[in-house]
Amino acid sequence: MSKLYYNEAGHVLPTLCEELTSCRRARKVLVLPGTQAPASLYVLARPYAGSSVPLRISVNGTEIEPLLPGGVHAHAWYEISLPPSLLRPGANTFEFWNDASAMDAWALAVEGGHRDPASYVSDDGGQTWRNEKMSYLNLLNGEYVVRVRLDEGEDPAPPAFVWEDPRNPRLAHLRQRLPALALRPGPQMERVRALTYWLSTSWQHTDAAKAQQYAPWDAETVLSWGRVRTGHDGRLPIVMCVHYGAAFVSCAQAAGLRARTVITANVINGYDGHFVTEVWFEEYGKWVLVDPNLDAIFFQAGVPLSVREVQAAGADLGQLVEWGPGTEFQRRYQQIEAFVQDNYLKGPWIRSRANWARADFLGRPDLTPPGHGMSAYSETSLVWDADLRSRGFGMFPYFGSRDYFEAPPDSTV
């Protein structure tokens, strides 16, 4: 068994992180128990393209082997093995810097919104430190996304799923915007299909390669910003697969359906992941995978498939997918068509899965992330398949069994 130690939620905005130099250094303090077993240090960081400058790291004052910049030039996870002799019971200090004089070598991910963080920045090469006015623009109180997993202890059980409070007036307001077919009594699949078609044709998929202004996980705001292609500060918003999924979950609940988000990936630092949803079908006694971005659902012998069943199909997804009328709207864009042909139909995107345990994006917007999908996955609220902990996903604290993912919702909307 093993246990992860961390003090942030991984809610990173990649455009507002900590730039490191020889003078501007970062320090992270984590409280650990004593250990006689090896440990893994996980760091979410970004090397600059074209830079050959290593990221230097010390653990409790002892410098370890530096990280060399690789081929990924977005915020990605780096894993470093630590001998137990470097760690001690209580507070452990990890420091990060490099030998560049300008902010053009490495950036360290930071999560804002902490009153008294156990992370610190120095502007004078480590002589003085502060835990306020952090990030390269000196305006966050934040925690650096640095975690340690000890080969002792046990991770906590994954959290229970949380839904919107049906009394939330925002659900009633959202319901007024939904297509009529999604609200009428009738076959559940028809209602789900009405929602996926409506959402998939409501705006043009726009990701971080085209825009930098991330839309919040607010269904009505996503629909508005996506339609007019204008968001906060008048900028082109990021409204991508994440936002189709988040909007679908809120809209489905407004229509009286149980839905939750599904995050998928091939590998943790890859670019081939996706963001889809699941809907509970009492008729089939299972959660069914629904893709509101591509207006797609997978079937076999007329029965809709779950995430696990789609995973089991491997590279033969083209024989199982049933496209809705919204697919044509999405696939007219070259980027989406390339994703469908090179990834979606071949299956890499679905090999690893997680669920967001919360679906109350309207009632608790403070718990939604500010930039999911703009970098490697980092949010600690993700619950991954149990077998992934030993397959490169050890930087997360929650892992669920098959029973966890397949259990029916505890109540109806």
pLDDT tens, position by position, 290-343? 999 999 999 999 999 999 999 999 888 999 999 999 999 999 999 999 999 999
Beta strands in 331-402 (DSSP E): 352-356, 382-385, 398-400
Residue range 34-89, pLDDT digits in tens: 889 899 999 999 999 999 999 999 999 999 999 999 878 899 999 999 999 999 99
CB 231 within 8 A of CB 328: no
Residue 272's CB is within 10 A of a number of other CB atoms, namely 18
Over range 198-209, report the average pLDDT.
Answer: 96
On the question of pLDDT at 412 being above 60, the answer is no
CATH fold label, 3-150: Jelly Rolls (2.60.120)
Q: Nearest Cα to 289, choosing from 274, 265, 305? A: 305
The count of C-alpha atoms lying within 13 angstroms of the C-alpha of 245, restricted to the half-sphere facing its C-beta, is: 23
Q: Per residue in 181-202, pLDDT tens? A: 999 999 999 999 999 999 999 9
Whole-model pTM: value is 0.96
Mean pLDDT of the chain, nearest integer: 96
Q: How far apart are the first and last CA of the chain?
A: 37
Phi (first) and psi of residue 243, to 5 degrees:
-80, -30
Secondary structure element (H or E) that encloses residue 112, with its range = strand 110-112
Please choose, from the candidates 339, 355, 366, the residue with its C-alpha nearest in 3D space to the C-alpha of residue 400: 355
Distance from C-alpha of 339 to C-alpha of 349, rounded to nearest angstrom: 10
Contact 202, 178 (CB under 8 A): no
Domain map (residue ranges) of the chain: 3-150, 169-406
With 0-12 / 13-18 / 19 or more C-beta atoms within 10 angstroms meaning exposed / middle / buried, residue 392 is: middle
Query: 46 vs 73, 244, 396, CA distance in Å?
Result: 6, 27, 19
Which residue is listed with tokens 């004089």? 101
Question: In whole angstroms, what is the distance from residue 201 CA to residue 203 CA?
Answer: 6
**pLDDT, mean of residues 150-171:** 96
Q: Which helix (H) or strand (E) holds 327?
A: helix 326-331
pLDDT digits (tens, 9 = 90+) for 232-259: 999 999 999 999 999 999 999 999 999 9
Percent of the chain with pLDDT over 70: 99
For position 70, what pLDDT does the model report?
A: 82
